[in-house]
Amino acid sequence: MQAQLIALDWGTSSLRAYKLGPAGVVLEQRSQAWGIMHLPTEPREIAGVLCTDGFELAFDSACGDWLDAQPGLPVIACGMVGSAQGWSEAAYRSTPVDVASLGQALHGIRSLRGVQVHIVPGVIEQVGLPNVMRGEETQVLGVLQGLGPQVLIGLPGSHSKWVEVVEGRITHFDTFMTGEVFAVLSKHSILGRTQQASEQFQAEAFDQGVRVALSNDGQRGVLSTLFSARTLGLTAQLAPDQQPDYLSGLLIGHELAGLPDSAKHQPIILVGAAALCARYQRALALCGFAHVSLAQEATERGLWQLAQAAGLIRPVLEA
């Protein structure tokens, strides 16, 4: 089947490449470790030139053969590749944004082999405290089809995003540093000293953590409840191998307690790694969020739609 688009999900730690066919069907996909902070360094010849640029090298290794086989295939990319530390900076677009406005704002960079790479800009919200995202906007836009007029999309991760979408437009979003806080506390704080990794998910401890976040004690905030991960251990109410999932539940619970109450009866879509989404789904249920579902293939679908909006995909091939 003839490909129509190369779509790159290019983040800090990895580079995923998709070869998409008609209607955006995934013909082939690859995942490589060439995130923008981990680029290849070994010089190689590209288009007859000895190349030392890490972005060029990574790009060529991700999809050079696809372009050789089918020159002129359009290329679109999202994620940190468009940040100030990326290949070329695609300036943030302010909320509200939708597929049409973002698709018309792609930022082009000409690669060594002459192919134009179209980078999706990140999104900034400047009302109140500023908030930014890069990559998540594409995932959000990729999962909207078939949803109602108002939906909340959660993207759990190192920096979780919660994105409000009204009539197909991203109107507001928040960031919670839950995943990174969990990682640094487990690795570098006193809480990690008594933690022991568990082979199995400690569901009871996780739920207990969520409930503490929702309790009266939780009202004092996470800086206070954190200490319970230690004291419950000291008082033998939490075994060492329960402590990591207790802390995970506690932090996720505090994150969810920060969502607007109105979200309780709104459809919520989770996008992200399956295991992490399962934790969030469990915690959301405990917090009383009623309508939660999971989305798949968010990035490749988002990139497909943005490429369409940008006119990168030739309609004749789509028929």
Chain residues in the site for its own copies (CB under 8 A): 124, 126, 128-132, 159, 174-178, 180-181, 184-185, 187-190, 212, 216-217, 219-228, 231-232, 234-235, 237, 251, 254-255, 257-259
Q: Give me the least distance between CB of 222 and its own copies, in Å please.
A: 6
Q: Give me the least distance between CB of 296 and its own copies, in Å please.
A: 27
CA–centroid distance for 296 within its chain: 12
Nearer to its own copies, 225 or 308 (CB): 225
167, 108, 97: which is closest to 132 by C-alpha? 97
Assigned token pair, 68: 């050789």
185, 102, 144: which is closest to 271 by C-alpha? 144
Nearer to its own copies, 110 or 187 (CB): 187
User: What is the secondary structure of the chain as a DSSP string?
Assistant: ----EEEEEE-SS-EEEEEE-GGG-EEEEEEES--TTS---S-EEETTEEE--HHHHHHHHHHHHHHHHSTT--EEEESGGGSTTSSS--PPEESSB-HHHHHTT-EEEE-TTSPEEEEPP-EEE-SSS-EEESSHHHHHHHT-TT--SEEEEEE-STTEEEEEEETTEEEEEEEE-HHHHHHHHHHHSHHHHT----SS--HHHHHHHHHHHHSTGGGG-HHHHTTHHHHHHHTTSS-GGGHHHHHHHHHHHHHHHTS-GGGGGSEEEE-S-HHHHHHHHHHHHHTT--EEEE--SHHHHHHHHHHHHTT-S-HHHH-
Nearer to its own copies, 118 or 161 (CB): 161
**In sequence order, which residues have a C-beta less than 8 Å from that of residue 225 and are 6 or more positions away?**
212, 213, 217, 218, 250, 254
Nearer to its own copies, 55 or 176 (CB): 176
Backbone phi, psi, residue 48, to 5°: 80, 5
Q: Give me the least distance between CB of 307 and its own copies, in Å please.
A: 27
Nearer to its own copies, 140 or 212 (CB): 212
Q: Give me the least distance between CB of 279 and its own copies, in Å please.
A: 15
Q: Give me the least distance between CB of 171 and its own copies, in Å please.
A: 16
Q: Give me the least distance between CB of 241 and its own copies, in Å please.
A: 19
Q: Give me the least distance between CB of 214 and its own copies, in Å please.
A: 12
Nearer to its own copies, 59 or 162 (CB): 162
Nearer to its own copies, 24 or 122 (CB): 122
Nearer to its own copies, 30 or 159 (CB): 159
Q: Give me the least distance between CB of 42 and its own copies, in Å please.
A: 27
Q: Give me the least distance between CB of 143 and its own copies, in Å please.
A: 22
Nearer to its own copies, 169 or 211 (CB): 211
